[in-house]
A and B are shown apart, each in its own frame.
Chain A
Amino acid sequence: MAEITYRQALHDGLREELLRDENVFLLGEEIAVFEGSYKITAGLLKEFGPKRVVDTPIAENGFVGMATGAAMLGLRPIVEIMTINFIVLAMDEIVNHAAKIYAMFGGQCPIPLVIRTPGGGGQQLAATHSQNLEVWFAHVPGLKVVAPSTPADAKGLLRTSVRDNNPVIFLENLALYNTKGEAPTDGYMVPIGQAKVTKEGTDLTVLSYSRMAAVALDVARRMEQENQLSIEVVDLRSLRPLDQETILNSVRKTNRAIVFEEDWRSFGIGAEIAALLQEEAFDDLDAPVKRVASLEVPLPYSKPLELATLTGAKQLVDAIKELAPRRSRHLSVSPTLLP
């Protein structure tokens, strides 16, 4: 297996799908001539031509509507929305058209549409360019939402999403594009709706997705070495449908759970999972489910304020220390009391 970046994994996935099926085409702002704001589509215009890699005007409602129509007629469009913040302009096309048409018209035409878009803050892009709005889509029946955290999952889930006959919101993250990881080169697929236990543990479970899943894994490994805490990490990978079985199995084993998410806390993914756990695993819970999320304010531009607002490894470490079961904590012995 080769080690590649998340960006490269997406690029390779798109290219392979374009090669595999001539009905697949890409459209979005600046993706063709400029090769994408984040260079995911580099070289694809040259290889596949302007009919397969289409530059659009700055009009999200227009081109998402167009992609929906193309999907109705049998094409398999992959839309790039430059960042998730601009998706709000296309809400009507996504929520009222793409998500509904298959059900409303007797299953006459599926909508095999993929909307790729990066979320996430931390780049000093301020309040309107740093959001995590995935939960809006996870709320809507008729949509699927995936949020891979590694190059391998990005590639595997992209393949699956393109071949799925439902509209899929494919969540990326600005801070993940340069991260590296091993990705299989064969026709590897990751099923939608399947979470992954990325690290096994016994003291508590951290559930996360997208970039925070990568942070959680790093924190868990570090704390295991330093504090001898055994932390299980579940990368949700799909937000809709949610892999309830993997989540429940993990928490039934550890009895304690933290949901770690970059978005706001209220009505978030953590709220949904906490509700699931109390409904389905009440008698296995040894402590209330903790939610670790970002502060509920429009994200400030100032770097210190941005850092103070966004959640991250520190907030997760604090939560783990608070939630870890007493018998697993290391009693620190005072070196000063002399017998």
Chain B
Amino acid sequence: MSEVNMPRLSDTMQEGTVARWLKKPGDEIKKGDILAEIETDKATMDLEAYEAGTLQQIMVQEGETVPIGQVVALIGTGAAVPQPAQPAPAKTGADGAGTAPVPAPVERPPAAETSAQSKEPATIESGERGAIKASPLARRMAEEHDIDLSRVQGTGPGGRIVRDDIEDVLEQHGAPPAAPAAAPKPTAPPEPVPIPAAPPGAPPPETEIVKLSRVQMLIARRLTESKQTIPHFYVSSEVDMTDALALRQTLNASAGEDSVKVTVNDLIVKACALALEKFPEVNSTIKDDQLIKYKHINVGIAVDVPSGLVVPVIRDTNSKGVRTIAREAKALIAKARDNKLAPVDLEGGTFSVSNLGMMDASTFIAVINPPQAAILAIASTRKQFVPVDGQPVIRDLMAMTLSADHRILYGATVARFLQEVKRLLQNPYTLLG
């Protein structure tokens, strides 16, 4: 019998979520087979089997998050495959409607989720007490608060339930975390926590609760951090895209059937990269009391995916031609949509472009991606009459807004940078140089 552990898939990864199991108990496993998809803080990656055998047991269910190193599955010789979740007659008579008698000897049902996530009370199974690993303190706290340990996800070494896990449960149920153990009793006698019951302040029945994915939670946290800690300011401009659109058409018409088509966004990305060469302070970051200018220009492109938003990066954008940029962007977008981006695809961005032009947006302002100093938001291009030599002429005008970090960037710099982007796009042949 060998254990399959949660692997470390990136330098910063501390825990991972099993997004999907591709094998089920009883399946024959060859070395190198993909067992599951793991969602990390950066991307979704494959969990490979390093040993051959039979998938004996799945220890971590889809959607569950566990720290690196925790056993997620067992691969064995296939001798005795345990049947998934065989509910035994409830020994205690508890029916899950209310509080379960706590130290009830139970075995963790394979599909047990943490209490907050369970949609309905799981059946209590009888089994050996030894199946649950918990620290003595966690056991005592569970007893004091009437918590069923079989419903608690252990995050300690080897999946042991520790104080933190009990405190998680108490917090989810609005109970104060246990008083320091030395204190005999909290001032208010702790309410027994009815685990399977709805938490106080439960939403009205017409709502649907969707648990945020790991990536979504990260996005939520980082955007909040960005908007709350970075003093944003905004400069907008309109670009006459008529010539750029014409150039794009020429480029794509002359390209072969198989070659990648250049998009408007690719031209904008290239224009930004060239403008960043002239304005290195826009391609920078602030760290404590230092302005750090990046040597490389790596432009990230915001891509909307079902799970939220990711920003894969095109490295050394300024030294790449528009066709190369188009090819790389297309590949990255495809990977993003298939949830196949690797951490390396997401690392090292120094500036970002977010484009809602294809969605009929008249104005659009974006939130800065820390640690970058600026992001360019692109709205739709519209046909408008503009005066040319006193005569109204129809031109394609595109609105864009740069969001900038006012700690290191100032209005004049940003306006000049934007002017340069505009100049490049209005003289699109400069993008081909």
Contact = CB atoms under 8 A, between A and B. Distances in A.
A283 B310 CA distance: 46
Given A334-B12, A339-B309, A287 B162 contact: yes
B155 interface: yes
A327 interface: yes
Contacts of A249: 182
B181 A284 contact: yes
B156 A287 contact: yes
B53 interface: no
Contacts of A332: 12, 14
A287 B136 CA distance: 8
B167 interface: yes
A50 interface: no
B167 A335 contact: no
A93 B81 CA distance: 66
Contact of A339 (B10, B12, B222, B313): B222
A286 interface: yes
B41 A337 contact: yes
B162 A286 contact: yes
A266 to B, nearest CB: 22
B181 A336 contact: no
A325 B182 contact: no
Given A286-B138, A327-B164, A337 B180 contact: no
A282 interface: yes
Interface in A299-339: 325-327, 331-339
Contacts of B41: 334, 337
Given A287-B162, A338-B369, A282 B136 contact: yes
Nearest to B300: A338
B135 A287 contact: yes
A253 B14 contact: no
B371 interface: yes
The CB with the most chain B CB atoms within 10 A, among A287, A327, A332, A339, is that of: A339
Q: Which range contains the number of A residues in contact with the other chain?
A: 20 to 34
A332 B219 CA distance: 14
Contacts of A91: none
Contacts of B226: 339
A325 B162 contact: yes
B311 interface: yes
A285 interface: yes
Given A287-B135, A332-B12, A336-B347, A326 B371 contact: no
A272 B325 CA distance: 66
Nearest to B183: A253
A294 interface: no
B219 A339 contact: yes
A337 B135 contact: no
Interface in A7-38: none
Contacts of B157: 287
A55 B66 CA distance: 66
A334 B136 CA distance: 34
A252 interface: yes
A205 interface: no
A338 B163 contact: no
B40 to A, nearest CB: 10
Nearest to A331: B14
A332 B41 CA distance: 11
Given A282-B136, A283-B140, A286-B162, A252 B346 contact: no
Interface string B286-320: 00000000000000101000001111010000000
B104 interface: no
Contacts of A334: 10, 12, 41-42
B218 A286 contact: no
Contacts of B251: none
Interface of chain A, helix or strand or loop or mixed? loop
A255 interface: yes
B371 A335 contact: yes
B370 interface: yes
Contacts of A285: 135-137
Given A325-B162, A325-B164, A338 B138 contact: no
* Most chain A CB atoms below 10 A, which of B138, B181, B311, B346: B181
Contacts of B181: 252-253, 255, 284
A286 B135 contact: yes
Contacts of B67: 326
A325 B302 CA distance: 36
Contacts of B219: 339
Interface string B335-353: 0000000010011110010
B221 interface: yes
Contacts of B313: 338
A233 B348 CA distance: 41
A333 B221 contact: yes
A333 B41 CA distance: 9
A284 B137 contact: yes
Contacts of B167: 327
A337 B139 CA distance: 38
Contacts of A338: 300, 302, 310-311, 313, 346, 349, 352, 369, 372
Interface in A270-286: 282-286
Nearest to A248: B182
A339 B311 contact: yes
B367 interface: yes
A287 B137 CA distance: 9
Contacts of A283: 136-137, 139-140
Nearest to B311: A338
B346 A255 contact: no
Given A253-B182, A286-B163, 17 more contacts: A249-B182, A253-B180, A282-B136, A283-B140, A284-B136, A284-B140, A285-B137, A287-B135, A326-B155, A333-B12, A333-B221, A334-B41, A336-B349, A337-B42, A337-B222, A338-B302, A339-B309
5 contacts: A253-B182, A284-B140, A337-B41, A338-B300, A339-B369
Going nearest first, the 4 A-B pairs with the smallest beta carbon separation are A338-B311, A338-B369, A334-B12, A336-B347
